C-alpha cells in the first residue's frame, strides 16, 4: 500500500507543474476514499505535495533561465564593452610593437 502511494505521488508530482491546489485536494480525497491515507493526514499531504510542486516549478524556472542566459545573444552593452576592450588591447599591442626609441617619443 505504501509503495503504491509513493508511486502515485511521484507520478502525480511530475504533473504538478500545471496542477492547481483544487486538483491536489481532489487527488488526496480520492486516496482517502481508497483507504491509502487517513483523513486526518490529508491536509498535511496536500501541503507537502503543493510544496514539492512549487520546489520543482522553481527548479525548472531556474534551469530555463540559465539556458536562456547561456544561449541568449549578447546585449548591445556587452558588444560595446568588448569593442572597447579590443580597442584598448589593439592600442597596447601597437605600442609594444614599436621600436624602443619610438615608444619614448610617443610617450612624450
Domain spans in the chain, listed from the N-terminal domain onward: 1-72, 74-108
Report pLDDT for 86: 95
Please list, residue by residue across 66-79, b when 16 or more beta carbons sit within 10 angstroms of its beta carbon and e when fewer do: eeeeeeeeeeeeee
Report pLDDT for 98: 85
Report pLDDT for 65: 75
Report pLDDT for 2: 46
| Weakly modelled stretches of the chain, pLDDT under 50 | 1-3
Report pLDDT for 85: 95
Residue with cell 556587452: 78
pTM (2 decimals)? 0.48
Q: How far apart are CA 26 and CA 53, in angstroms?
A: 16
Report pLDDT for 90: 93
Amino acid at each position: 500500500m505504501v509503495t503504491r502511494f509513493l508511486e502515485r505521488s511521484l507520478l502525480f508530482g511530475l504533473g504538478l507543474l500545471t496542477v492547481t491546489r483544487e486538483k491536489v485536494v481532489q487527488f488526496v480525497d480520492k486516496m482517502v476514499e481508497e483507504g491509502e491515507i487517513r483523513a486526518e493526514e490529508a491536509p498535511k499531504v496536500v501541503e507537502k505535495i503543493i510544496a514539492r510542486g512549487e520546489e520543482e516549478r522553481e527548479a525548472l524556472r531556474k534551469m530555463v533561465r540559465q539556458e536562456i542566459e547561456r544561449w541568449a545573444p549578447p546585449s548591445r552593452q556587452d558588444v560595446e564593452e568588448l569593442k572597447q576592450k579590443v580597442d584598448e588591447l589593439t592600442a597596447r599591442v601597437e605600442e609594444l610593437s614599436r621600436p624602443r626609441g619610438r615608444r619614448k617619443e610617443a610617450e612624450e
